Structure 1
């Protein structure tokens, strides 16, 4: 479904991604793990059109989408849940969700999308008229995920969904990620919590200073001494 080859991204003089290659099969959960500043978020931003690669290809469903505007990427079926949630604090929950469906003109489809999101996140329905800025961190994460799902993506990019959440909420968010995947959405998950990421993914990549240094099945990486030492506290 997604194939990245020799992707290079530069921020001015900083070479953030140095020739990374990875692939995501349709229906899978693939995770990209690594320390802060390793290039995880930059990878997602390049896929979703928020950053322009200096070199390399990003092939999605057989077409190279590198350099295509972000709104066109969404139209093609890719949605991103940004790091830090980035909800619109001064808008209600319902208004935030509505913005996620901005490309959809059919009101019946939008209504159906609301029903699906509220089924997955009942707390959002309870708080639909509440300002997003007054929600707890966990609820804001649910809102950010719900907003991305309003466009019915085929591929969902998740950037650090567990960041800043209490352990009990982290488990809840990861249970929801599994549900979203089981309902048919392919997921590329960027996450510092390697233990949780490897528990839901089938395939995993480790990125360090802009380069992929390890890859394999999630179970292989769980058993890797390097991964245990660096990311699993082993």
Structure 2
């Protein structure tokens, strides 16, 4: 579904990604783990068209997208849940969800998907007329996910969904990631909570200072001494 071949990405003169290659098959949950500053968010921003690679290629559904604008990539079926949630604080929950569907014109389909988002996140239904800036961090994360789902994506890019959340809320968010995937949406997950990420993913990549240093079956990486020592607190 998604094939990234040797991309190099720069911020000015500083190279953030070095010859990064990954692939994601349809229906998978693939996770990218790594320390802060490893380049995980940069990779997602490059995939969704917010940054352009200097060299290398990004193939999505068999076609190159590395020169495309971000809004075109959304139309192609790729949605990005950004780090830090980035909800529109001065708009209501419902207005945020409506904005997620801005590329669509099928009113009946939008209404159906809105109802489904409220099924996935009952708390959003309770707060649909509330300004999203007044929601808790966990509720804002639910809203950011719901907003991305309103674009009816084939693949969902998720950047640090557990950041700053209480353990119970983290579990709830990851349960929903599994549910969304079971309903047919492919997921590429960037996550600092390596234990949670590796427990839901089928495959994983480890990114260090802009380079892929390890990749493979998520369960095998979870049991690897190197990954345990670096990312799982020696568990």
Give the TM-score taking structure 1 as reference length: 0.99
Q: Does 1:221 align with 2:221?
A: yes
Could you say what the CA RMSD is over the residues aligned between the two structures, in angstroms? Answer: 0.5
Moved more, 103-112 or 190-199: 103-112
Structure 1 residues without counterparts, runs of 5 or longer: none
Write the distance in 1 (CA, Å) between the matches of 2:180 and 2:139.
17
How far 1:200 moved relative to its partner? 0.2
Write the distance in 2 (CA, Å) between the matches of 1:97 and 1:61.
26
How far 1:107 moved relative to its partner? 1.4
Shift >3 Å, 4+ stretches = none
How far 1:70 moved relative to its partner? 0.3
- Please list, as runs of the form range in 1=range in 2, the aligned pairs for 1:18-29 lying within 5 A after superposition: 18-29=18-29
User: SS state of the match for residue 130, structure 2?
Assistant: coil
Q: Deviations over 1:190-219 (max 9, x none)?
A: 000000000000000000000000000001
User: SS state of the match for residue 207, structure 2?
Assistant: strand
Write the distance in 1 (CA, Å) between the matches of 2:3 and 2:203.
14
The number of residue pairs the alignment matches comes to: 234
Residue number in structure 2 paired with 1:147? 147
How far 1:106 moved relative to its partner? 1.9
Q: Does 1:89 align with 2:81?
A: no
Residue number in structure 1 paired with 2:130? 130
Residue number in structure 1 paired with 2:169? 169
Structure 2 residues without counterparts, runs of 5 or longer: none
- Please list, as runs of the form range in 1=range in 2, the aligned pairs for 1:103-114 lying within 5 A after superposition: 103-114=103-114
Residue number in structure 2 paired with 1:42? 42
Q: Deviations over 1:23-73 (max 9, x none)?
A: 001000000000000000000000000001101011101001002000000
Residue number in structure 2 paired with 1:63? 63
Write the distance in 2 (CA, Å) between the matches of 1:138 and 1:207.
26
Residue number in structure 2 paired with 1:79? 79
Write the distance in 2 (CA, Å) between the matches of 1:185 and 1:106.
20
Q: Deviations over 1:100-154 (max 9, x none)?
A: 0000012111111111111111111110000000101100000000000001100
How far 1:81 moved relative to its partner? 0.2
Q: Does 1:157 align with 2:149?
A: no
